[in-house]
Amino acid sequence: MNFPAELKYTKDHEWVRVEGDEAVIGITEFAQRELGDIVFIDISSVDEEVEQNEVFGTVEAVKTVSDLFMPVTGTVLGVNDQLDSQPELVNKDPYGNGWLVRIKMKNPDDVQSLLAAGDYEKQVGT
């Protein structure tokens, strides 16, 4: 399983890639494998500030719907439009084309509270 070292991770299986004072957020390879085939992504929080650990959307797989939790407080700048017609991108490329949202972080230091790749890998027990 892949755990890119340049990313930060949450205990709820989201990842964060920091780009200045913005961040790109998605779900981990582990999460998408656990969910199975993803059929729909619902994120309606564009232009809203979402607090750290609050729900910013849902991901629907064939057998379940799971909440998406914001890893750091920020304003949602945009959603990956490709997921409207191709939600399976999250399964195929969770760290690339399957990203979920781009945010403007309220406090970039929040990232320091997230897990490094090795710590996340230990948590999921691979």
pTM reported for the whole predicted model: 0.95
Q: Where are the domains of the chain?
A: 8-108
In whole angstroms, what separates CA 20 from the centre of its chain? 17
Neighbours of 38 (CB within 10 A): 24
Please tell me the predicted confidence (pLDDT) of residue 126: 66
List, for residues 84-97, the tens digit of each pLDDT value: 999 999 999 999 99
List, for residues 57-116, the tens digit of each pLDDT value: 999 999 899 999 999 999 999 999 999 999 999 999 999 999 999 999 999 999 999 999
CA distances from 79 to 41, 75, 109, 118 (A): 10, 12, 23, 28
Any idea which fold 8-108 has? OB fold (Dihydrolipoamide Acetyltransferase, E2P) (2.40.50)
